[in-house]
């Protein structure tokens, strides 16, 4: 859903900026990524900080102040990747996978109980809230994730609150909208999850072949480093692609066995 | 740095080494443009030059966003060059647009200084 964002942000601070305090560099990268700034713009800005710290001997925090504030003060442009259409294109496969997952985990306990699957109004509302949350994360990452990265009390309120908003309708609105045979519903859900994964895979492959692929690189990184980063992104993407199908399979197994 | 620039004038021992930050805010862009007019240079050297010329310490957090604005508005071009044994440096090169901006604002600034000097100079010395 938020591809090539922060997947390449961790553990690269030191290779990108060896003279900058690791935590400062991490905060700087995250702040700019949340604002949808392109990887090479971030790499260039960080390389300049690194150069200044190396020559002046000053720690980044002293010369540049707070990493987030400094990042914002640069006024770096948002990449086209962050345009609404691009975000929707990237997020739709995830939404398809989530829809399939919801069908599977709704049907699984009914199979275990030998009943038909029942879709309630609350479940439908919950699904819509989930879609809204996923879209918000993709479209306004600095506002949504920023609340979680900000002061601890904000995260302590925001995370459980969004979870409650997703779950509450299912618990409160139990009116049945439709009933469907559980077995075929589970199978259909699984097919939808796989279709979503395949769709995502096509997009990931297309992006990996794009010579303009958005990557966090400094002006010094040549073809070798670019290839290395490209491969590490590809691995991270494979892992990300497995998350929803694997999660669905585990939940379905648990629900079938103990539901 | 191969360009020639004048050495700072000798100043009285009690000359201030730091200035009110709101004064610096008004004049910093102009001073940086002026330093860039001497030839391509990079952030840390600009900060060192400003300090040597008596403007005081200008933090990276103030200087680099300003250079970024110059870049975005086309007043400078940038060129990454290897450093002396250290990490590379981002050199800033004043463009024609930057030079024109410097000329216009320098003249304007001199008028402003003359105006304030007139205001601040007492009309007649009171005993």
A154/A251 same-domain check:
yes
Q: What is the pLDDT of residue A20?
A: 93
Among A29, A54, A73, which residue terminates a domain? A73
Among A27, A43, A73, which residue terminates a domain? A73
- Asked if residues A195 and A96 have their Cβ atoms less than 8 Å apart, the reply is yes
A60/A119 same-domain check:
no
Q: What is the pLDDT of residue A7?
A: 42
A63/A35 same-domain check:
yes
Low-confidence ranges of chain A (pLDDT < 50): 1-10
Q: Is A109 among the domain residues?
A: yes
Q: Is A158 among the domain residues?
A: yes
Q: Is A132 among the domain residues?
A: yes
A97/A132 same-domain check:
yes
A51 interaction partners in chain B (CB closer than 8 Å) = 42-44, 83, 86-90
Q: Is A7 among the domain residues?
A: no
- Asked if residues B59 and A63 have their Cβ atoms less than 8 Å apart, the reply is yes
A89/A194 same-domain check:
yes
How many residues make up chain A in this entry? 259
**Residue range of the domain that includes A105:** 82-258
A19 interaction partners in chain B (CB closer than 8 Å) = 87
Q: CB-based contacts of B23: which residues, under 8 Å, 6+ apart?
A: none
A228/A247 same-domain check:
yes
SS3 B94: strand
The phi, psi pair for A184, rounded to 5°, reads -60, -35
Q: Is A216 among the domain residues?
A: yes
Q: Give the model confidence (pLDDT) of B4-39 as tens digits.
A: 455 556 788 888 888 998 999 899 999 999 999 999
Token pair in block for residue A178:
């439709």
Q: CB-based contacts of A69: which residues, under 8 Å, 6+ apart?
A: B61
**Angstrom distance (rounded) from CA A91 to CA A134:** 8
Among A48, A73, A98, which residue terminates a domain? A73
**Angstrom distance (rounded) from CA B28 to CA B20:** 12
Q: How many domains does chain A have?
A: 2
- Closest residue of chain B to A221, computed from CA coordinates: B88
Q: How far is A63 from chain B (nearest CA, A)?
A: 5
Q: Is A2 among the domain residues?
A: no
Q: Is B42 on the interface with A (CB under 8 A)?
A: yes
**Angstrom distance (rounded) from CA A24 to CA A46:** 10
Task: For A195-214, give the secondary structure using H, E and C.
Answer: HHHHHHHHHHHHHHHCCCCC
Q: Is A241 among the domain residues?
A: yes
* Residue among B105, B6, B95, B116 at smallest CA distance from B54: B6
Q: What is the pLDDT of residue A4?
A: 43
A158/A238 same-domain check:
yes
A96/A67 same-domain check:
no
A67/A194 same-domain check:
no
Q: Give the model confidence (pLDDT) of A7-62 as tens digits.
A: 444 457 777 888 999 999 999 998 998 888 999 999 999 999 999 999 999 999 99
A44/A151 same-domain check:
no
The phi, psi pair for B87, rounded to 5°, reads -65, 160
Q: Give the model confidence (pLDDT) of B35-93 as tens digits.
A: 999 999 999 999 999 999 999 999 999 999 999 999 999 999 999 998 777 788 999 99
Q: How far is B27 from chain A (nearest CA, A)?
A: 19
A44/A124 same-domain check:
no
Spell out which chain A residues touch chain B, with contact meaning CB-CB distance below 8 angstroms: 18-19, 44, 47-52, 54-56, 58, 63-65, 69-70, 73-76, 219-220
Q: How far is A56 from chain B (nearest CA, A)?
A: 7
A65/A91 same-domain check:
no
Structural domains in chain B plus CATH codes: 21-120 (1.10.10.10)
Q: Is B16 on the interface with A (CB under 8 A)?
A: no
Question: What DSSP line would sit under A19-64, residue for residue?
Answer: TS-HHHHHHHHHHHHHTTB-HHHHHHHHHHHHHHHHHH---HHHHH
Q: CB-based contacts of A124: which residues, under 8 Å, 6+ apart?
A: A177
- Determine the residue among B44, B46, B65, B82 to mutate to test chain A binding: the one whose Cβ has the most chain A Cβ atoms within 10 Å: B44
Burial label for A53, CB within 10 Å (0-12, 13-18, 19+), is buried
Question: What DSSP line would sit under B28-85, residue for residue?
Answer: HHHHHHHHHTTS-EEHHHHHHHHHHTTS----HHHHHHHHHHHHHTTSEEEEEE--SS
Token pair in block for residue A60:
């980044």
- Asked if residues A100 and A193 have their Cβ atoms less than 8 Å apart, the reply is yes
Q: Is A137 among the domain residues?
A: yes
CA A227 to each of CA A212, A215, B87, B108: distance values in angstroms, whole numbers, following the listed order: 13, 10, 22, 51
**Angstrom distance (rounded) from CA A85 to CA B13:** 63
- Cβ distance B90 to A76 less than 8 Å, yes or no, reads no
């Amino acid at each position: 859903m938020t591809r090539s964002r922060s997947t390449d942000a961790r553990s690269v601070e030191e290779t990108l900026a060896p003279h900058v305090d690791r935590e400062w560099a991490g905060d700087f990268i995250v702040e700019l990524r949340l604002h949808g700034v392109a990887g090479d713009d971030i790499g260039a800005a960080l390389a300049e900080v690194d150069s200044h710290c190396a020559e002046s001997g000053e720690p980044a925090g002293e010369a540049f102040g707070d990493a987030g504030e400094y990042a914002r003060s640069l006024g770096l442009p948002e990449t086209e990747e962050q345009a609404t259409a691009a975000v929707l294109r990237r997020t739709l496969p995830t939404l398809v996978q989530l829809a399939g997952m919801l069908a599977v985990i709704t049907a699984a306990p009914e199979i275990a109980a030998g009943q038909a699957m029942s879709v309630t109004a609350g479940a439908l509302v919950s699904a819509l809230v989930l879609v809204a949350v996923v879209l918000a994360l993709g479209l306004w990452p600095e506002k949504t994730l920023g609340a979680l990265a900000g002061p601890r009390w904000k995260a302590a309120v925001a995370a459980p609150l969004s979870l409650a908003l997703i779950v509450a309708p299912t618990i409160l609105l139990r009116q049945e909208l439709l009933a469907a045979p559980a077995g075929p519903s589970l199978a259909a859900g699984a097919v939808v999850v796989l279709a979503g994964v395949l769709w995502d895979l096509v997009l990931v492959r297309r992006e990996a072949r794009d010579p303009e692929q958005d990557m966090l690189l400094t002006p010094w990184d040549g073809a070798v480093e670019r290839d290395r980063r490209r491969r590490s992104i590809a691995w991270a993407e494979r892992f990300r692609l497995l998350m929803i199908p694997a999660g669905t399979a585990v939940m379905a197994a648990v629900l079938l066995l103990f539901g | 740095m191969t360009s020639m620039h004048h050495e700072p004038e000798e100043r009285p021992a009690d000359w201030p080494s730091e200035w009110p930050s709101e004064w610096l805010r008004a004049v910093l862009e102009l001073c940086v443009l002026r330093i860039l007019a001497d030839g391509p240079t990079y952030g840390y050297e600009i900060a060192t030059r400003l300090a040597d010329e008596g403007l005081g310490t200008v933090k990276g957090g103030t200087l680099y966003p300003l250079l970024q604005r110059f870049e975005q508005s086309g007043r400078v071009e940038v060129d990454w060059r290897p450093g002396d044994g250290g990490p590379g440096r981002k050199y800033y090169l004043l463009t024609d647009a930057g030079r024109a901006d410097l000329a216009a604002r320098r003249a304007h600034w001199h008028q402003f200084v003359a105006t304030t000097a007139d205001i601040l100079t007492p009309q007649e010395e009171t005993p």
